[in-house]
Amino acid sequence: MTRQLLAATKALLVLTLVCGVGYPAALLAVAQLVPGRAAGQPVVVDGREVGSHLLGQPPSGPEWFQGRPSASDASGGTSGGSNLGPSNPELAAAVADRRTALRAENPAAPASIPADALTASASGLDPDISPAYARWQAPRVAQARGVEVDTVLDLVAKHVDEAPLGVLGQDRVNVLDLNVALAALVGG
């Protein structure tokens, strides 16, 4: 019995070191070799970190492009959607409230509001929006910045990341990248 207990204890220690320490350390070392990924792809402007390519940013005013609605707190510390199904009255009410708020904040925008402006992403941390949502926000951003709408639309067009191979996923616009470019174009 003592011999079996000693063997089991040794096995536990070895497996703890291999699986609990060695394997995670090896994965971290490999991840450090991939540029930017292990560090969260920080965005640095004038020597100051302003956000991450991988995390959605909280709304910050009419002069900036806004990301998708979020069920999380946008700090990156929490993640998750609301888990409300399409027939849930609470989701319908939230979409109606967002539609009303967006219409009030964007009176010059086209009538049809893109779906990603009304519904939260599954993770709540999505850094991207559809090109349609970015274009939809352009009149508000242009007015707040005192520039022509066409200037803002050109900037949006330059920041559309096409779907990989043209078929995997959808075209998207990283909101932080777009806002950094906007600040560089017309002043921060």
Q: Do residues 68 and 56 lie in contact, with contact meaning Cβ atoms separated by under 8 Å? A: yes
What is the percent of the chain where pLDDT is above 70? 89
| CA–CA gap between residue 75 and residue 114 (Å, rounded) | 25
Residue 81 has a pLDDT of: 65
Dump pLDDT digits (tens) for 80-103: 666 777 888 988 898 899 999 999
b/e 116-138 (16+ beta carbons within 10 angstroms → b): bbbbbbebbbbbbbbbbbbbbbb
Cβ neighbours around 175 below 10 Å, total: 25
**For the packed helices 131-145 and 175-186, what is the interaxial angle rounded to 10 degrees?**
30
Higher per-residue confidence, 59 vs 7: 7
- Mean pLDDT (whole number) for 3-19: 93
The CA distance from 86 to 96, in Å, is 13
- At 38, phi and psi to the nearest 5? -70, -25
**C-beta atoms surrounding 63 within 10 Å:** 18
User: What letter would DSSP give residue 48?
Assistant: E
